[in-house]
């Protein structure tokens, strides 16, 4: 457990150090790659059992406690790998912007915040890390400094602040009820029959629902995620909404207030609605990145359906979809960024024939499209299949039907884009387009590899039993009772 503080300390240290080496590009790139790859290795080196780390050596009732269990570990690995890939890609991609070191500082601050959210077991600490991660992301969305980016960032900032304040209100209410902030102690002391608890649940569901773009609150996501630079969109869509919104909501519903009390049916239906709305929004777009961002809403809806079912199979589907969606959606954002880098164009109706000049990007986005559409050997297929089986086996036929309909719509949507962007005749203005540099193609190929093999996470028994089933088990073990016994 001694490794846990490093997940926050190393990115913070690098973020601060980057301010001193603004003009030395070689050192900066080395530092970025060293930091992110070291974090990937550290994430794999963390132990498999549940364990705690007491910051400052204080008693868990009064101090901050860090926690690691298989669910945390799975998300920690996903976050480190995705940020590693995205920073690798940024080294080439961010050449078109100025102030690269400040960009990497923000990315590392966001990484520190996300890692903190994942490993903390203290509510107020969670709020602080959440604000670090989201403030960095507001700044990154506005990074280009053009009118629409500023506008998207302001919209995101206002809605994000409202959701943060809702969460802070919930934390204040929890403190008023239990006089504790440690999640285990709160789980022990929270009286679920009290009407205030219902207020807490409502406020938390609204706050984290806004952060993760659940159906009635989804309007900010397409703007914010499409206006950011491509690697940042990949991080935002790939892990930030899952870590900030879905992960905390999962913990809160399953481990703190208990499954019986959680409004799971409502969550499942809101998830179904947001999957429908997201895919319908995506169908009307003609901006490549904006379409992907709209489609994120629908995939988040899938995850919420799995959470809302509350069955083991539903949870397996939801967790697998969290992992898979971060692989293929970030792959697609990176390839959209690669197309934009080479052509300077995002409207895919005015593209075409790019497969001849950009073969690698073409291949990468082909794998991404087939994966997101759910073509069998790739990873998207497995999570959708498990979610459908989970819906049917728990008797929710309509939810299963909605998943099937949305999957079919997705499957028809993406070949269309592939055709518009990469196939057909090459317009004369794109004759001189060159393929993006290798520092951008290799990260995409890494994500392609993950898209192909991640289905193995449920198929291969060793992987399933090391990484996946313990994570589901950590959720299904119910409320955290009796973890820390004696009061100070």
Binding site for other proteins (CB under 8 A): 5, 9, 12-13, 16-17, 19-20, 22, 53-57, 62, 98-99, 124, 127-128, 131, 135, 138-139, 142, 145, 147-148, 150-155, 157-158, 161-162, 164-165, 168-169, 172, 175-176, 179, 181, 219, 222-223, 227, 281
**Cα(66)–Cα(41) distance, rounded to whole angstroms?**
20
For the bound state, the minimum distance from the C-beta of residue 47 to other proteins, rounded and expressed in Å, comes to 17
Q: How far is the CB of 220 from other proteins (least distance, A)?
A: 11
Decide whether 24 or 356 has the Cβ nearer to other proteins: 24
Give the closest residue to 388 by CA, choosing from 398, 376, 379. 398
- Torsion over CA of 390, 214, 240 and 475, rounded to 10 degrees? -40
Question: Of the candidates 251, 369, 225, which has an alpha carbon nearest to the alpha carbon of residue 307?
Answer: 251
Residue 206 CB, nearest approach to other proteins (Å): 11
Nearest alpha-carbon partner for 282 in 374, 354, 348: 348
Instruction: Find the shortest distance in angstroms from Cβ 57 to other proteins.
Output: 5
**Closer to other proteins at the Cβ: 179 or 398?**
179
User: Which among 384, 201, 371 has a CA at the least distance from the CA of 275?
Assistant: 384
Cα distances (angstroms) measured from residue 460 to each of 105, 375, 383, 473? 38, 19, 14, 18
**Residue 21 vs 259, nearer CB to other proteins:** 21
CA atoms within 13 A on the CB side of 355: 13
- We find the least distance from the C-beta atom of residue 94 to other proteins, in angstroms, to be 15
Q: Which is nearer to other proteins, 281 or 364 (CB)?
A: 281
Nearer residue to other proteins within complex by CB, 12 or 354: 12
Nearer to other proteins, 151 or 465 (CB): 151
95 vs 131, which CB is nearer to other proteins? 131
As measured in angstroms, the least distance from the Cβ of 226 to other proteins is 9
Tell me whether residue 153 or residue 335 sits nearer to other proteins (CB atom). Answer: 153
CB of 250 to other proteins, least distance (A): 24
CB of 87 vs other proteins, minimal distance in Å: 20
The residue among 195 and 482 lying less far from other proteins, judged by its C-beta, is 195
**Between 13 and 341, CB nearer to other proteins:** 13
Q: Kindly state the smallest distance separating residue 16's Cβ from other proteins, in Å.
A: 5
Buried b (16+ CB within 10 A) or exposed e, 16-43: ebbeeeeeeeeebbebbeebbeebbebb
Contact (Cβ atoms closer than 8 angstroms) between residue 174 and residue 181: yes
> Which CB sits closer to other proteins, 157 or 390?
157
Least Å distance, CB 440 to other proteins, is: 25
Q: Name the minimum Å distance from CB 262 to other proteins.
A: 24
DSSP bridge pairs for 65: 54
CB nearer to other proteins: pick between 185 and 322: 185
Sign of CA dihedral 239, 240, 241, 247: positive
Residue 164 CB, nearest approach to other proteins (Å): 8
CB of 487 to other proteins, least distance (A): 11
Between 121 and 142, name the residue whose CB sits nearer to other proteins.
142
């Amino acid at each position: 457990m001694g490794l846990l503080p490093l997940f926050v300390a190393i990115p913070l240290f690098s973020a601060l150090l980057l301010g001193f080496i603004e003009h030395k590009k070689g050192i900066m790139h080395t530092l970025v790659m060293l930091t992110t790859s070291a974090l990937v290795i550290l994430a794999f080196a963390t132990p498999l059992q549940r364990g705690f780390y007491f910051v400052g050596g204080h008693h868990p009732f009064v101090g901050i406690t860090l926690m690691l269990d298989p669910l945390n570990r799975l998300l920690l690995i996903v976050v480190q790998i995705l940020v590693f890939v995205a920073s690798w890609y940024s080294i080439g991609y961010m050449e078109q912007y100025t102030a690269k070191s400040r960009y990497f500082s923000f990315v590392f601050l966001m990484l520190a915040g996300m890692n903190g959210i994942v490993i903390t077991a203290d509510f107020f600490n969670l709020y602080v890390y959440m604000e670090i991660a989201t403030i960095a992301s507001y700044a990154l969305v506005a990074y280009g400094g053009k009118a629409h980016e500023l506008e998207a960032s302001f919209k995101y900032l206002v809605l994000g602040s409202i959701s943060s304040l809702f969460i802070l209100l919930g934390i204040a209410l929890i403190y008023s009820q239990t006089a504790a902030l440690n999640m285990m102690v709160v789980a022990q002391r929270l009286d679920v029959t009290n009407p205030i608890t219902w207020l807490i649940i409502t406020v938390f569901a609204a706050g984290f629902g806004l952060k993760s773009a659940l159906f009635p609150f989804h309007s900010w996501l397409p703007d914010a995620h499409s206006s950011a630079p491509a690697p940042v969109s990949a991080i935002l869509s790939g892990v930030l909404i899952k870590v900030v919104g879905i992960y905390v909501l999962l913990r809160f519903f399953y481990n703190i207030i208990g499954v019986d009390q959680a409004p799971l049916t409502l969550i499942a239906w809101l998830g179904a609605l947001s999957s429908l709305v997201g895919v319908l929004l995506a169908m009307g777009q003609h901006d490549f990145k904006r379409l992907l961002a709209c489609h994120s809403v629908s995939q988040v809806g899938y995850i919420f359906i799995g959470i809302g079912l509350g069955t083991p199979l539903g949870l397996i589907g939801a967790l697998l979809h969290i992992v898979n969606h971060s692989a293929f959606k970030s792959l697609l954002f990176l390839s959209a960024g690669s197309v934009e880098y080479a052509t300077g164009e995002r409207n895919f109706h005015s593209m075409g024939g790019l497969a001849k000049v950009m073969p690698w990007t073409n291949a990468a986005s082909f794998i991404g499209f087939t994966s997101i559409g759910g073509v069998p050997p790739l990873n998207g297929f497995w999570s959708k299949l498990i979610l459908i089986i989970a819906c049917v086996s728990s008797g929710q036929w309509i939810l299963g039907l909605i998943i099937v309909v949305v999957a079919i719509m997705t499957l028809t949507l993406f070949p269309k884009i592939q055709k518009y962007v990469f196939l057909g005749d090459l317009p004369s203005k794109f004759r001189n387009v060159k393929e993006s540099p290798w520092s951008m193609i290799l990260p995409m190929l890494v994500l392609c590899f993950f898209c192909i093999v991640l289905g193995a996470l449920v198929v291969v028994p060793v992987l399933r039993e090391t990484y996946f089933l313990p994570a589901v088990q950590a959720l299904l073990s119910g409320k955290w009772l009796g973890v820390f016994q004696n009061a100070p």
